[in-house]
Amino acid sequence: MSPNTNLASQDLWHSDQRKPVRGTLARTAILSMRRENSTPKVRLDNVSLNYASDTAAGTLALDRINLRVQPGEFLCIVGPSGCGKSTLLGLIASLQHPTSGTIAIDDEAVSAPGTDRILMFQEHGLFPWLTVSQNVEFGMKMKGLSKAERKEKVRHYLRLVHLSQFQDNRPHQLSGGMRQRVALARALATEPDVLLMDEPFAALDAQTRDMLHDELEKIWAETGCTVIFVTHNVREAVRLGDRVALMTFRPGRVKQEFNVDLPRPRHLEEVEVARTAREILDSLRDEINKSLEAEYAHEQRR
């Protein structure tokens, strides 16, 4: 694995006058203690995935990925389109299996989906015929929770995403941002240890996305879950992540990792966020060029 690069090592306790996200500072201190010698929440060892095809050798989407994610960490993954980000999340969720290598949660190898991990997509994937509450309740039914427990958790998680008053609405009656918040409540209600997010805010307008960043950060601080958040937006990754892993264009490998030690809450427009993002972007740009070249070559052959 590439060495970590400390881009912004400001002193967390003294550098910022703004009010921290509730619990974030205390949580950060606890986390850094835990990280000293804790078992990784998610561990990938030499994970490769080759999409087989009838005609050729197939597509090597991921090539010997090694990754450690600590309990309660917020890891962002960035990389050009087609570098295998979604594939990687699908593997961690055990929706598909690696061609080689192992994936472990709390040091236990996993090969089947479990309620300890949940995957959230850019498309909210809500059931249009169910109300907001019923959608949130759905995952818990699958998990076998009693009716009383489900009711209580629906109430709690809808309040957390500020949607209590829309509990009886159906998805088509909500804005795009509200639908993503329902999807987030639905994912959180199953109380996963690991929240896997695949470009969840990519289709939203800037204001809604800003608000959801704030909400997600608060929820992460409150619940203590581990988040692996995929995005092609480097600023978003710096806004949210404790660490940013940069992937290469096909085959996807971890090219470099960046620790982001900026105080929270951060804002997309902040100078330090922009500066850190620029450094990551310099490294990402080569990979984006490779992806564009590959696309161009493909066009030429057609």
Report the residue from 13, 51, 127, 296 that binds ligand ADP according to the rule CB under 6 A.
51
Regarding 59 and contact with Mg ion (CB under 5 A), the answer is no
Side-chain half-sphere exposure of 166, counting CA atoms within 13 A: 22
Window of 83-91, 120-128, 148-156, 158-166 that interacts with ligand ADP by CB under 6 A: 83-91
Q: Cα(157)–Cα(155) distance, rounded to whole angstroms?
A: 6
> Minimum distance from CB of 24 to Mg ion (Å)?
28
Q: Are strands 100-105 and 42-51 parallel, antiparallel or unpaired?
A: antiparallel
Select from 208, 148, 149 the least CA-distant residue to 184.
208
Strand order in the sheet with 4-6: 4-6, 254-259, 243-247, 74-78, 226-230, 194-198, 117-120
Report the residue from 24, 48, 87, 291 that binds ligand ADP according to the rule CB under 6 A.
87
Report the Cα 229 to chain-centroid distance in Å. Answer: 1
> Minimum distance from CB of 62 to ligand ADP (Å)?
8
Looking at the Cβ atoms of 199 and 272, the one nearer to Mg ion is 199
Run of H or E including 287: helix 271-301
Looking at the Cβ atoms of 83 and 110, the one nearer to ligand ADP is 83
Print the binding letters for residues 52-71 with ligand ADP: x by CB under 6 A, - otherwise.
Answer: -------x-x----------
Looking at the Cβ atoms of 217 and 236, the one nearer to ligand ADP is 236
Looking at the Cβ atoms of 84 and 98, the one nearer to ligand ADP is 84
> Minimum distance from CB of 230 to Mg ion (Å)?
7
Q: Are strands 108-109 and 254-259 parallel, antiparallel or unpaired?
A: unpaired
Partner whose binding site includes residue 87, from ligand ADP, Mg ion, none (CB under 5 to 8 Å by kind): ligand ADP
Q: Which of residues 250-279 bind ligand ADP (CB under 6 A)?
A: 250
- Residue 254 pairs with which residues in a beta bridge? 247
Select from 34, 48, 39 the least CA-distant residue to 104.
39
Partner whose binding site includes residue 186, from ligand ADP, Mg ion, none (CB under 5 to 8 Å by kind): none
Select from 92, 85, 111 the least CA-distant residue to 253.
85
Regarding 296 and contact with ligand ADP (CB under 6 A), the answer is no
161-167: long-range pairs with CB below 8 Å, 24+: 161/185, 161/215, 161/219, 162/215, 163/132, 166/132, 167/131, 167/132, 167/133
Partner whose binding site includes residue 81, from ligand ADP, Mg ion, none (CB under 5 to 8 Å by kind): ligand ADP
Report the residue from 76, 78, 83, 240 that binds ligand ADP according to the rule CB under 6 A.
83
Q: Count the residues of the shown chain that bind ligand ADP, applying the rule CB under 6 A.
A: 12
Q: Contact, 74 vs 229, CB < 8 A?
A: yes
Run of H or E including 66: strand 59-69
Partner whose binding site includes residue 179, from Mg ion, ligand ADP, none (CB under 5 to 8 Å by kind): none
Report the residue from 86, 99, 164, 208 that binds Mg ion according to the rule CB under 5 A.
86
What residues make contact with ligand ADP under the rule CB under 6 A? 51, 59, 61, 79, 81-87, 250
Q: Residues in the site for Mg ion, rule: CB under 5 A?
A: 86
